[in-house]
Structures are given as structure tokens and as C-alpha cells.
Amino acid sequence: MSGFKKTALITGIAGQDGGYLAEFLIKKGYNVHGLVRWDSYMNPADGMARLAMLGLTDAALTLHQGDVTDAQSVTQLLKEVRPQEIYNLAAMSQVGVSFKTPAATLDINTKGTLAILDSIRLLDMERSVRMYQASSSEMFGSAPAPQDENTPFMPCSPYGVAKLASYWLARTYRDAYGIHVSNGILFNHESPARGEDFVTRKITKAVASIEAGSREVLRLGNLDSIRDWGHARDYVEGMWLMLQQERPDDYVLATGQAYSVREFVERAFEQIGIQVAWSGTGVEETGRDKRTGRLLVSVDPAFFRPKDVNHLLGNARKAQDALNWLPKYYFDDLVADMVNADRMLLWREAGGDAVWKMTG
Ligand code: GDP
């Protein structure tokens, strides 16, 4: 079957992972179709700009406007595109926001998955399509670290609960109807394309602008929270590997290393030559420039969550053994990549591109 081009459909293509996955699949020679919600078109800062940042234009992709919660439109789209692989990345992805909009979170993060699974059945595509379901380490919630595929789930947020419902829907449809659907239980994965409401990007953006002369103070919530942070670029490859297996299964993807939010702050400021000295506790805690004493970080209870997941640390042994998956980026590389990208972004915004073109 040489010359046969596989077709992939990515829901949530305008998100961080959607962009990296599209880039990855295009390089592999796939026809890539993406489902985009109306507000990703309307709000270029958060959607299409991300695809453009990765060098992906409409010409490289076929984009479809729609919504995963609209079951009929999902069925119609599958009928039209006839993909061999579906990656369900569409979600309300912010854990903090899920406490403010729990019903919408359940709707999007659960009904969307169901719409795809049911469409596969309705269209008799059980044998012709493979599906990836974006499950999350947030499903582990307060389960003790380290977590792997056998750790009991104890979600702590509407987001975690909704993702867990989708995880079980995928397993149920796999067992009941023989659908080739795999859950990727991904620990936090970040990148320069991460949304600015996530703590890592919020930190790296502030660090870059402080270096550029901003007097801002970085206001954060829970500094003690510990996460296993990897790079989205590595994780999208893991998603694809799961669908290349003969049998569907569920896999944890993680780096196996965990750091606190406080450590992320320290490492990010180190990138611009600043050492952070901490003092005080709880809401009184502050981080100052060790050399000058300037206030850099303070705690703002507005960023506390009603309930937080304190310690996520993944064990990706199964993915390593079965998929031969290993991350290329670890904590230091990730922080450096993100700070440097935010520095570059500021430089471009300040007209650096024009200067570079003239001199370079
Ligand atoms: P999550 O793990 O998917 O919830 O990713 P986030 O980046 O949103 O949050 C990671 C951790 O950082 C959580 O435990 C948050 O409570 C904590 N955190 C501390 N300060 C902040 C903040 O200002 N914004 C966000 N989003 N999280 C923060």
C-alpha cells in the first residue's frame, strides 16, 4: 500500500497539544484534519495563533468548525473525513476554572468523548478507526505518588471527575464494542505554546518581561504544589505510538521527576541570572532578588483552588517498555525552552525581527 496517506482527525487542534500533534503527523505524511470551536477562530490570541507559531497554516491542514458536544455534527464530520486515527484533545483544560464552571466542564470533557465513541459505532467504523482519548494525571488527584496505570483514581476537581468519566467511557466502549481506543494518562506537559493561565507559562512570561524591564510582581497561588512536568513535544509522540499498537491499552506518560511550583520559579529566574531568596510562610511568603532585595514573587489567595492536587509524580515504565517511549526533555530543558521562547516573543514584539532582518 505504498503511497497510501493516512488521515487523522484532531479535536482541539487549536490547543497546545493539537498544534504539536498536527506538526508531528504532517511530518509523518498524514492528511491532518482538525476540529476547531468557533471561539478559537474568534480569539486568534488563543487558538489559530498557536498553530501559526508552529508554522502550521490552513494550507497544511483541513480545519472544520464545530463542537465536540454537538453529537450530530461529530457524526457528520466523521462520515465526511473517514479518518483512520482520531485524537480527542478537545477539552476545557483548566483545573481552576473547572471549579467555577463544573457543569460546562462535565459537558465538554465527557459528552464530547461520548459523541465520538457513539459516532464510531453508528457509522460502523469500529474496525477502521483508532482513537486516542486524552486522559489526565488529574484523575489521580489525592492518590499517593508515584502514580501509574494501577493506581486508584481519586480526582479532586470537576476537571478530574469529567476526565475520569471519559476514561471509563473509552474503556467501556473498548470492551463492549471492540473499539480500538487508548487512554493516554498524561502528566503535566508544557511548552512555549502553553496557555498563559497555566502556572508554568505564567511564570516564564513574567520572568521574560521582568528581564526586559517590567516592574511587575509575579502573584501566584499554591507554591508547594508538586508536579511532574514534561514537554508537550515529547508527549504527542507518545499519543501517536499508542495508536500504532495492535491492541488498544492505557498508558501513563510522565518524566518520573517532580518539582514544586517554587522550584519552577527558582529555575526560571536562574535563566535570567537572578537567584530568588524566599522568606515568610503561607500567604505572607515572598520571593526576592537575592542580590538587590527587589520583590519578585508574592502569594495571592485569589489563585488558591477550593481543593488542590498536591503531589503528582508519574511512573511511565509501561510506556517505556511497550512503546519504547522516553522523554527527551526533562525539567531544566523545559524551563530553559519556555523562558527563552518568551524572551524571543518579547523581542519580536519590540520589533526585533525587523532589526534581525536588517543586520542578519
Ligand atoms: P494543573 O496541574 O493542570 O492544574 O496545571 P496548572 O499549571 O494550572 O497548576 C499547577 C499547580 O500550580 C496547581 O497545583 C496550582 O494550584 C498551582 N499554582 C500556583 N499558583 C498558580 C497560578 O497562579 N496559576 C495556576 N494556574 N496554578 C497555580
pLDDT at residue 325 above 60? yes
Return the C-alpha torsion angle 207, 211, 213, 219, nearest 10: 20
If one compares 42 and 49, the residue with the highest pLDDT of the two is 49
**Atom from ligand 1 closest to the CA of residue 305:** 16
* pLDDT classification of 47: cutoffs 50, 70, 90: low
Mean of the per-residue pLDDT values for the chain? 93
CA of 200 to the centre of ligand 1 (A): 8
Q: State in Å: Cα 76 to ligand 1 middle.
A: 37
What is the percentage of the chain residues whose pLDDT exceeds 90?
88
Least confident of 56-65, 132-141, 296-305, 324-333: 56-65
- Quote the pLDDT of residue 357: 44
pLDDT band, very low/low/confident/very high, at 360 (cuts 50, 70, 90)? very low
pLDDT at position 38: 75
Calculate mean pLDDT across residues 28-42: 85
Per-residue pLDDT for 41 more than 70?
A: no
Give the pLDDT confidence score for residue 332 in this predicted structure. Answer: 98
pLDDT attached to residue 351:
82
Nearest to 224 by CA among 183, 166, 265: 265
| Cα 240 to ligand 1 centroid, rounded to whole Å | 27
The per-residue pLDDT for 49 is 72
Pick the residue whose CA is nearest to atom 2 on ligand 1. 188
Full set of structural domains in the chain with CATH: 7-190+229-253 (3.40.50.720), 199-226+259-311+330-349 (3.90.25.10)
Instruction: Find the 199 Cα to ligand 1 centroid distance in Å.
Output: 5
Q: State which ligand 1 atom lies nearest to the alpha carbon of 222.
A: 19
Cα of 223 vs centre of ligand 1, distance in Å, is 9
For atom 17 of ligand 1, which residue has the closest CA?
A: 222
**Ligand 1: which atom is nearest the Cα of residue 200?**
7
Write 318-326 long-range contacts (CB < 8 A, 24+).
318/148, 318/149, 318/251, 318/252, 319/238, 319/241, 319/251, 319/252, 319/253, 322/245, 322/249, 322/251, 323/238, 323/241, 323/242, 323/245, 323/251, 324/241, 325/237, 325/238, 325/241, 325/251, 325/253
Among protein residues, the one with the nearest Cα to ligand 1's atom 28 is: 199
pLDDT at site 353: 58
C-alpha 96 – ligand 1 centre gap (Å): 8
pLDDT > 90? residue 1: no
Does pLDDT of 147 surpass 90?
A: yes
259-285 mean pLDDT? 98
Ligand 1 pocket, Cβ-based, cut-off 6 angstroms: 95-96, 138, 188, 197-200, 202, 220-222, 225, 227, 261, 303, 305, 308
260 φψ region: left (φ > 0), alpha (ψ -120 to 50), beta (else): beta
